[in-house]
Amino acid sequence: MTPDPAFMEAAIALSFEAMNSNRGGPYGAVVVKDGVIIGRGMNEVTSLNDPTAHAELTAIRQACATLNSWRLDGCELYTSCEPCPMCMAAVYWAQLDRVYYSNTREDAARYGFNSQAIYDDLARDRDSRKIAMHPPLPSKAITAFDAWANKHDREV
C-alpha cells in the first residue's frame, strides 16, 4: 500500500503544534481508517506530566474511542518519527495494519531523544537490564490467569 503524503503532513503539523504550544516534544501522529483520520495525537509528555502521553498513544486512544473498539485492524498509523518501544508495543496490541514514519530513531537520537537505549535494554536478559525486575508472588498471581482461562465471556 502506498502512503498518502497528506496524512504524513497532518502528523508533521501536529509535531509543530506540540512544540510551538509547549505541550511536548516535536512529535505528531494520526490514525487513518478507510482514508479518514479517526485519531490525532501530539506529544504532551511535559505539559501533562505523563511519560505515556506520546503522540502515537494519544492518536491510538482517540481512534479506539472513535471506533468504540480496542482493535484497530484495518487502520494505519502515520507518525512524524519512528515509534519508540512503548508506542510500537501499543501498535501491536491495537493490531494496526501498518506504520508510516518520517524521522528515524537515529534522527531522534541526534536531537537528544534516545529511545535506542530502551530498545537495547529490552533486548537484554531480564537479569541484565538497567531496571531491576523481581517476581515476588508468582504463585498468587497465576490464579488470576487460571480464572481468565475459565472465563467464558473473555475477549482475546
> Catalytic amino acids?
56
Hey, what's the cell of 28? 505528531
